[in-house]
Amino acid sequence: MSFKKLSLSLVTAALIAGCNSEPVTTTSTVATDSATQAQAAGISQGEYVARLGNCVACHSTLDGAPLAGGLKMAVPMLGNIYTTNITPDPQNGIGQYTFAQFDKVMRSGVARDGHRLYPAMPYTSYAKMSEQDMQALFKFLMEEVKPAAQANIAEEIKGIRNVRWGMGIWNLLALDKKPYEMDKSKSDNWNRGAYLTQGLGHCGACHTPRGLLMQEKGLGHGDSEFLAGAPLDHWMASSLNGDINSGIGRWDQQDVVEFLKNGHNKFGTAFGTMVEVVNNSTSHMSDADLQGVAEYLKSLPARSEAKATPYVAGTAETEQLKKLDFSKAGARVYYEYCSNCHVTSGAGYAPYQPPLAGNPVVMDKDASSLINLTLNGSLRVFSGQGPDVNNMPYFRQLLTDQQIAEAVTFIRSSWGNTASAVTAADVAAIRQATDPTRNDTYVLRMK
């Protein structure tokens, strides 16, 4: 078949795929119906589902009305788009959507007027939602969210680069429209976790590496790259599989629950874009749901570090720092600028001043998160316990690229940590592309 014919048949198939607008029907199961958990949380099922799906993270801004959109998002290589108003306002929002139209846009990215959404809206994940949760979510948006007459902002993608039409073809390659199906060989708890992780929680949108077409390379545990760690917006969303050093292979199920609920555990603290996930979504999950996600994540096998030697704590650098021996590169910068919080042994004062020794994110092969955090600091975690008192200061003005490179290299190679060195050029590139993080604490509003 010639290339031209192939692309033509793809276009036809895509058009046909886009025309199908029957809402899906699914049987209600413990794993795919969020009613019980919502009841436990004392809110409507739809509001709970919206928290699980973290709609606010993208559709609310600090200054705008709840869910009225307006957040700028970059589409790689093309330009910028803005999230849209999803309040029930009939002119600017989704007030004129029927349930069938809503179901379709949430699962296949085809809007009411037929235009196709860019996958910056994680519909490939939301396609896994059950009918019950989708109905509840629609009801919440229509009945509990206040209509806001906030106009949508036009996209900044011009001419030939505007490939909205092409998303139909993209869907054929990257979208699996089937809702989550129970794996009967696994427990209800595991299935609930799989449903939340692959679907509503859209964890893979950040944690799964993307291919040439920006599609997630893997949408479930059968795919080797699912949740294997990926760079996004100059943060590295670390591996969530069983990798022993840079993944969560050394965490137990309760460590995962604690991290998602409170934003920290004995291994580390949430920072970067993960803070928005914890503050607006996972800290609102019921304990049962957190247990589900944790059991599911802990069932993912080690991938790139299947044969690696597990982390062994070391004390050589602690001894040197205590003797003010700064012969190792970066030791002096670390001692002067970092050790008052993270201490000479790299143990921190867990869980508030996180440890750097044995911390998986510190040993990630990609150091972007560490560089970004040291340059710019991090948003404050806000969980059920209130805002964290401590956060990481930013060193953008205080330290040069070379000093930051040395400090980060030092923490990656000390106290038993085994990760590669960072160069001043790595730091310079991220310095140029980023700004210091806001220092206030907030949870975005849904209504």
Map the footprint of ligand HEC across residues 257-276, applying CB under 6 A: 259-260, 267-274
Q: Which of residues 99-118 bind ligand HEC (CB under 6 A)?
A: 105, 111-112, 117-118
In angstroms and rounded to an integer, the radius of gyration of the C-alpha atoms of the chain is 23
We find the least distance from the C-beta atom of residue 121 to ligand HEC, in angstroms, to be 3
What is the Cα 177 distance to its own chain's centre?
Answer: 21
Residue 302 interacts with ligand HEC (CB under 6 A): yes or no: no
Residue 341 interacts with ligand HEC (CB under 6 A): yes or no: yes
- Using CB under 6 A as the binding criterion, the count of chain residues that bind ligand HEC stands at 76
Q: Is 74 helix (H, G, I), strand (E, B) or coil?
A: strand
Residue 290 interacts with ligand HEC (CB under 6 A): yes or no: no
Q: Which of residues 61-90 bind ligand HEC (CB under 6 A)?
A: 73, 81, 83-84, 86
Closer to ligand HEC by Cβ: residue 44 or 83: 83
Residue 407 interacts with ligand HEC (CB under 6 A): yes or no: yes
Cβ(433)–Cβ(234) under 8 Å?
yes
Neighbours of 268 (CB within 10 A): 24
> 186 φ, ψ to 5°?
-115, 165
Residue 361 interacts with ligand HEC (CB under 6 A): yes or no: yes
* Sole residue written with tokens 């600017």: 92
We find the least distance from the C-beta atom of residue 2 to ligand HEC, in angstroms, to be 31
Q: Which of residues 191-210 bind ligand HEC (CB under 6 A)?
A: 197, 201-203, 205-207
DSSP state of 110: B
Alpha-carbon span 124 to 218, nearest angstrom:
11
We find the least distance from the C-beta atom of residue 73 to ligand HEC, in angstroms, to be 5
Alpha-carbon span 106 to 104, nearest angstrom:
5
Alpha-carbon span 46 to 146, nearest angstrom:
14
Which one of residues 61, 376, 391, 414 is an interface residue with ligand HEC (CB under 6 A)? 391
DSSP state of 327: -
Which one of residues 43, 120, 300, 422 is an interface residue with ligand HEC (CB under 6 A)? 120
User: What is the pattern of x (binds ligand HEC, CB under 6 A) and - over residues 46-65?
Assistant: ----x--xxx-xxx------
We find the least distance from the C-beta atom of residue 28 to ligand HEC, in angstroms, to be 19
What does DSSP say about strands 382-383 and 386-387: parallel, antiparallel, or unpaired?
A: antiparallel
* Sole residue written with tokens 């950040």: 206
Q: Under 8 Å CB-to-CB from 323, ≥6 apart: which residues? A: none
Closer to ligand HEC by Cβ: residue 8 or 79: 79
Which one of residues 68, 136, 182, 392 is an interface residue with ligand HEC (CB under 6 A)? 392
Q: How far is CA 277 from CA 57, 244, 271, in A?
A: 8, 24, 10
